[in-house]
Amino acid sequence: MDMIQMSSPDTDNNTQEIDLIELAKQLWSKRKFIFKCCGIAVVAGLIVAFSIPKEYSTSVKLAPETSDPTKKMGNLGGLAAMAGINLNTSSGSDAISPELYPDVVSSVPFLLELFPVQVTTEKGNYSASLYDYMDDNQKSAWWSYVIQAPFKLIGGVKELFSKEEPASNGELTSFRLTKEQADVIKDLQERISASVDKKTSVITVAVQMQDPLISASITQVVVDKLQEYITNYRTQKAKQDLEFTEKVFGEARESYYKAQRAYATFEDANKNIISASYRTEQERLKNEMTLTFNVYNTLAQKLEQDKLRVQEQTPVYTVIQPATVPLKPASPKKPLILIGFVFLAIFGSIGYLFIKDLFKPKEENDDFLIE
């Protein structure tokens, strides 16, 4: 009796265990249902894949001219750079770190400068500013219109009873944006990006648009404006010093010319005159001319130094990978979408059959008890 009682739990556990072979047989018997679900998934995947607008991506890689801080630290700095360790030894001459370039590209003032840029589609049937293109000529999947329809209806009703927004004076400013401008800025922030490789300091600028030609042209504009922004930022102080030196140099030159003319006029007007007052005035005018000349000469040298300083602080970027018009869309990934839908259909149908079989014995037991 004890042995029977000890073996009875094992037999109960065996009956409760899932027989994988039996499960495989059941799934094979329901293969038509599974294949039907996969066919429906393929059709749904094709509809979704062809409903999503094509997106074209263009990227540019730049190598900025920066001083190598690892050389100052010898072999230790080189080993740290190879290991991907940032020792924070960037030179003070760089007024802005390359790690801030992504923030610059995504900033509102930077993107506002892209609004007036004229763009043309690859087919040549549409030409407008980037703002108009992003605001009026963007395609969306059909279900997005269905989802947005109630919100647009509610927004239209609100506009009927709300006060009109003050008319814009045509000046773009980040201080106050309209709703349309804010939406375009948000869309551009998602489509335009920049990244920096910490090991190599290579800058990658990527732009994704629905037209290949616009994608390439906007990428080139972003790169040019980024270089201009960084150049102005780094050379701003040197240019201010140069402007001040040019102003003072011009004043010193006029003072020297004035003193030179005064000395020459005095000499011409007092020929063959020898007196103490003459010699005193002559000496004074000569000293004044010499003094103004020394100031003029010093400022001329400083002017050349400031020009060289501006040139030295102007960064030079080497284009590793230029902008090219993409031939194939970057998205949507139609094969991946189809594979995803098929996998969902397979696992979904198997899960449905498994859950159905779990509840089926319970129903049969209930019917048996009722009988």
User: How is 172-198 classified by DSSP, letter by letter?
Assistant: --TTS--HHHHHHHHHHHHHEEEEE-T
Higher-confidence residue: 312 or 141?
312
State the virtual CA torsion across 326, 327, 330, 332 in degrees, nearest 10: 140
Residue 6 pLDDT: 44
What are the pLDDT digits (tens) for 150-197?
766 776 666 666 655 555 555 677 788 888 889 999 999 999 999 998
Measured distance CA(89)–CA(92) in Å, rounded = 9
pLDDT for the residue numbered 4: 39
Q: Give pLDDT tens digits for 215-238.
A: 999 999 999 999 898 888 888 888
Nearest residue to 253 (alpha-carbon basis) of 281, 289, 284 = 289
d(CA 56, CA 156): 33
Q: Is the pLDDT of residue 118 over 90?
A: yes
The domains of the chain are located at: 24-52+334-371, 53-331
Residue 267, C-beta contacts closer than 8 angstroms, at least 6 positions apart:
282
pTM metric for this prediction:
0.67
Determine which of 34-48, 72-86, 193-207, 260-274 has the lowest per-residue pLDDT on average.
Answer: 72-86
- The neighbouring-strand residues paired with 55 are 331
Average pLDDT, integer, range 297-318: 88
Whether 203 and 132 have beta carbons less than 8 Å apart is answered as: no
Give 126's DSSP letter: -
Terminal-residue alpha carbon distance, the chain = 33
Average pLDDT score, the chain: 79
- Which phi and psi angles does 125 have, rounded to 5°? -95, 0
368 band by pLDDT with thresholds 50, 70 and 90: very low
Q: Are 346 and 30 in contact (CB under 8 A)?
A: no
The residue count of the chain comes to: 371
Most confident segment among 25-39, 130-144, 154-168, 279-293: 279-293
For the stretch 44-90, pLDDT in tens is 888 888 888 889 999 999 988 755 544 444 444 544 455 555 544 44
Question: What pLDDT does 16 receive?
Answer: 43
Residue with tokens 């506002």: 112
Specify the higher pLDDT residue, 8 or 174. Answer: 174
Residue 68: name the closest of 91, 92, 97, 85 by CA.
91
125-158 pLDDT tens trace: 889 999 999 888 888 776 776 776 676 677 666 6
Instruction: State the pLDDT at residue 163.
Output: 59
pLDDT higher than 80, residue 244:
yes
Which parts of the chain fold into alpha helices (H)? 2-16, 20-29, 31-51, 69-73, 75-82, 101-105, 108-112, 130-136, 142-161, 179-191, 212-269, 276-313, 334-370
